[in-house]
Chains A and B, each alone.
Chain A
Amino acid sequence: MAEIEIKHVSKIFDVEGEPFKALDDINLEIEHGDIYGIIGMSGAGKSTLVRCLNFLEVPTEGEVLVGGRDMASLSDFELRKQRQDMAMIFQHFNLLMQKSVIENVCFPLYIQGAKKKEARERAMELLDVVGLKEKALAYPSQLSGGQKQRVAIARALACGPKILLCDEATSALDPQTTASILALLKDINTKLGITIVIITHQMAVIREICRNVAILNHGQLVEHGKVEGIFNHPKSAAARELILGDISEKWNGSSRTQDLVHEAKKLRIVFSENSSFEPVIANMILQFGVAVNILRADTKNVGGIAKGEMILGLPEGDELQKQIEDYMVEKGLEIEEVTGDV
C-alpha cells in the first residue's frame, strides 16, 4: 500500500470573490521510503499540493490518505498527532528567531510533552546528525542559510517522522549548499527510511535525489513516473521546459535559443551510459563535413548514472538531416525532434 495516496484532489481558492482552481483533480501515489519530487513553475500549485498532504490546506474535493487513513476523517487531536508523523521543512526555514538552535530542535518535542532534559538530549543527537552540534547555543540569526536549513531538518526529525515534506527547501540556498542539503536528505532517506516528498522548481534537485517525479502545470498533473523515464522522454511541454532549464530565460521574457535557431531542425539527444564517453558528435561532424550548432549541452548524475543531453541545431537540407539522424541512432543515441516552443 502506498504511504501517501492522493485521490482526485482539487483545491479552489477564493481570490477577491473569484474562484481560482489551484489544484485540479490530482491523483498520485507515493510509496513508502521513496524520494518523490513534485516540480512545477511558480504558481503551478505545488506548494498547495504539499500542504494538502498534512492538511495545512484542506482540499476542496478529493481524498488524501496517509498510511491508509483518510486525513479528512481525523479529529483535530488525531490530525495533530498525524502531523507529528509528517514533518515539514520550508524555503525560508521558519525557525524561531528568539530561541537558540537547540531550543528550536526541542520545540516539537515540547509539543509532544517531552521533559526539558530528555528533549535536550535528543536535540543534541539530532544536531550531531546534521553536523551542527557546536552551534547548539547559537541563535538562528548567527547561522548561514545552509546551517539554518540543517537546524530545520534536525527539528523535523525530532519526533521521528515517517514522512518528510520539503517545500522548496533548497530554493534559497546557493548550489554548493543545496548539494550538501540534498546529500543530507538522501542520507536521512537511506538511514532512517523516511519517505521524502520534495517540492521544487529546480530540475537539478529532482535529478540529484528523486526516484519519482510528478510535474504540475497550472494546477494539473501533466506527467509523473520514474525520474529517468521522464528525463529521457518527456512527453509534455511543461516537462520539456523544466528539463531544458529554460525557466530563467522565459522569465526574462524572451527565449534566446529560439531567436538563434528558428530556421534549423532541432534534435534533443540523450546519451546513455555507454555513449557518454564516445566522441559521437565530433565523429559525426568529421564524417559529414558539416557544422552543427550545439544549442545546449549538459551532463548530469541521474540516479547514480552519468547522463548527458544535448540539443543540436542541424544544418538545412532534408536528406542531410535524415543521414545525421540515422547516424546517431546507429551510434545508440536516443534522439527526438524538439519543436519551436522549447
Chain B
Amino acid sequence: MFDQTIVNMIIKGIGETLYMTLLSTLFGYIIGLPMGIELAASDRDGIRPNALEYKILDVVSNILRSVPFLILLILIIPFTKMLVGKSYGSTATIVPLTVSAAPFIARMVESSLKEVDPGVVEAAKSMGATNMTIITRVLLPEARTSLINGMTIAIGTILGYSAMAGSVGGGGLGAIAIQYGYYRYEFGIMIVTVILLVLLQQIFQTIGMKVSNSLDRRRN
C-alpha cells in the first residue's frame, strides 16, 4: 500500500513524536513537580501556608494554562530560538510543549498531594518531621498512585499537543498527518498516522494504569 519511503517516514514520525512527548513530559515535571509541591505546601491547609506565594503561583499557572497552545507556541518563538537556536522541528517543539505542560502538571501534582490524608501529615509533624521530610517521605509516597495517574494524563495531553505542533513546523506524526492529509489529500497516510497516535495514547494509558495499580498498597 505504502512504499518504503513513506513507511520510513512514518517510523521516523513515531520516533519524533515519542521524543517530543517524553522529553516534554520530563522537562514538564522538572518544572511542574516542584511548582505543584509549592502550591500544595503554601496553600492555606498546606504544611507551610503562605498566601502571597500561593497567589503568585496560582496566577502564573492560570495565565499559562489559559493561553491556547497554538498561540503560546507562536508567542514564545523568540524564547525557543534563544534556547535551541531554531523555531521549527521536533527539538524546538519541546520548548512550547514544556512551557504549556508545566503549569498543567503543577496543578495535577497539587491536587494529588492534597488528596493525602491530613492526619498522616499531622502524625509526621508530631514525630518531629521537617517539612522536607514530610514532602519526600509522606506526601509524595502516599500520593504516588494519584501522581502516576496524573502523569498518564499529562503524557496523553502532551502527545495531543505534539500532534498539533506538527501543523506549524513541528515534527512527528502530527506533521505527517497535516502535510499529507491536509495539504496533499492523501487520506490513507493521514488515517494511518491518526491510528498510530490513538495506539500510542492507548499504550501510554495502559502502562500508566498498570504501574499505578501495581504500586497501590491500599487495596489488597
The residues of A with any CB-CB pair to B shorter than 8 Å are 54, 56, 79-84, 86-88, 90, 92, 94-100, 107-108, 110-112, 139, 141-142, 152, 155, 159, 165
Contacts and interface: CB of A to CB of B under 8 A. Distances in A.
A98 B216 contact: yes
Contact of B129 (A80, A86, A152): A80
Contacts of B141: 96, 98-99
B117 interface: yes
Nearest to B117: A94
B142 A83 contact: no
Contact of B127 (A79, A97, A107): A107
Contacts of A108: 127-128
Interface residues of B, number: 25
Residue among B124, B127, B129 with the most chain A CB within 10 A? B127
Contact of B126 (A83, A99, A141): A83
B49 to A, nearest CB: 13
Nearest to A80: B128
B123 A141 contact: no
Interface string B69-82: 00000000000000
B126 A96 contact: no
B120 A141 contact: no
B122 A83 contact: no
B65 interface: no
Contacts, number: 79
A94 B123 contact: yes
A88 B122 CA distance: 10
A56 B220 contact: no
23 contacts: A56-B125, A80-B129, A81-B128, A84-B127, A88-B123, A88-B127, A90-B122, A96-B138, A97-B117, A97-B120, A97-B142, A97-B217, A97-B218, A98-B141, A98-B215, A99-B217, A100-B217, A107-B137, A111-B127, A111-B137, A139-B217, A141-B217, A159-B127
Contacts of A99: 141, 217
B120 A94 contact: yes
B130 interface: yes
Contact of B220 (A81, A86, A90, A142): A142
B119 interface: yes
A98 B125 CA distance: 18
Contacts of A110: 137
Residue among B126, B133, B216 with the most chain A CB within 10 A? B126
Contacts of A159: 127
Nearest to A159: B127
Contacts of A84: 127-128
B127 A98 contact: no
Residue among B128, B133, B142 with the most chain A CB within 10 A? B128
A107 B129 CA distance: 10
B123 A98 contact: no
Given A90-B122, A94-B122, 15 more contacts: A83-B128, A84-B128, A88-B123, A94-B120, A94-B123, A96-B141, A96-B142, A98-B215, A98-B216, A98-B217, A98-B218, A100-B217, A110-B137, A111-B124, A111-B128
B217 A56 contact: no
Interface of B: 117, 119-120, 122-130, 133, 137-138, 141-142, 144-145, 215-220
B5 to A, nearest CB: 50
Given A90-B119, A90-B123, A141 B218 contact: yes
A110 B144 CA distance: 20
A97 B220 CA distance: 11
Contacts of B124: 107, 111
A83 B217 contact: no
B130 to A, nearest CB: 7
Contacts of B216: 98
A88 to B, nearest CB: 4
A56 B219 contact: no
A101 to B, nearest CB: 11
A25 B117 CA distance: 32
Instruction: Across the A-B interface, give the 7 residue pairs with the lowest CB-CB distance, nearest first.
Output: A80-B128, A94-B123, A83-B128, A94-B119, A88-B126, A139-B217, A108-B127
A293 to B, nearest CB: 45
Contacts of A111: 124, 127-129, 133, 137
B126 A98 contact: no
B15 to A, nearest CB: 36
B166 to A, nearest CB: 39
A181 B119 CA distance: 20
Contacts of B120: 94-97
A166 to B, nearest CB: 12
A56 B126 contact: yes
Contacts of A141: 217-220
Nearest to B144: A98
A106 B163 CA distance: 47
B111 to A, nearest CB: 18
A97 B217 CA distance: 7
Contacts of A80: 128-130
Contacts of A97: 117, 120, 142, 217-218
B147 to A, nearest CB: 11
